[in-house]
Amino acid sequence: MQRPVRWRYGVLLSLLLCRMLPEVSVALPIVVIFLRWGLLDTALGLIFAHLTMALPVAAWVLTTTFSGIPREVQEAAAVDGCGAWRTLILIILPLALPGLAVCGLLVWLLSWEEFTLATYLTLGAKTMPLPVYYYLYQGNWFDTAVAATLMTVTMLILSAFLQRYLRETSLAGMMR
C-alpha cells in the first residue's frame, strides 16, 4: 500500500543535485574515492559510477510511475484478499510495467552516453565502454563503421524490445 511521505520531493531534489552539477566536479571525487577503494579500472567501479549518475533520474521516473497508480486499485486488491506482496506482484508491477520500461530505457541511455566518468575510471581496454574505446582508438574508416554500427544496432534492439511496454493508455478505463 502507498503511504504518504512528507519529505519525498525533498529527497528526490537532493538526489537530482548530483545531476545539476557539472560532470567533472562529480567525476574527480569519485575517481579519488575509487582509487582508495581499489575500484579503478574494474567493472564494479564503472557500474557504481554510472549508478551515481542514473539513480536520480530512475528515482524521479519511478516515483512518478508508482504515484500514478490509483490507490483504489490497491484497496480493491486488499478487499479481494490480496496481501501486500501479492498486490505488488500481481497488480502494481504489471500496471507499472510501462514506467519501468521507460526507466530502464532512460537509465540505459544515460549510461550508454556517459563519457566523462568512463574516461576517468577506465585505464585499459578490458573495462572500457565502446564509445570511450572508439574515441581513444580511432582507426581507419572500417573501424569507425564497425563501432558506429555496434552502437546503433544495440540501441535499436533495446528500443524494439522495450517498445511493446511503452503504451500510453495502460491505466485508461481502470477506475470509474
**pLDDT tens readout for residues 65-95:** 888 888 898 889 889 888 989 999 999 999 8
Question: For the purposes of burial, counting CB atoms within 10 Å of the CB of 117, is it exposed (0-12), middle (13-18) or buried (19 or more)?
Answer: buried
Smallest CA-to-CA distance from 172 within 28, 71, 30, 70 is with 70
d(CA 141, CA 69) in angstroms, rounded, equals 50
Mean pLDDT over each residue of the chain, to the nearest integer: 80
Do 103 and 54 touch, CB atoms closer than 8 A?
no
Owner of C-alpha cell 555496434 = 150
**pLDDT tens readout for residues 104-147:** 888 888 887 787 778 888 877 677 776 676 666 666 677 777 77
What's the pLDDT band for 18 if we cut at 50, 70, 90?
Answer: confident
Q: How far is residue 56 CA from its own chain's centroid?
A: 9
Q: Which helix (H) or strand (E) holds 36?
A: helix 23-37
Q: Which of 17-31, 89-103, 129-143 has the lowest mean pLDDT?
A: 129-143
Q: What is the set of domains in the chain, with CATH numbers?
A: 8-165 (1.10.3720.10)
pTM of the model: 0.72
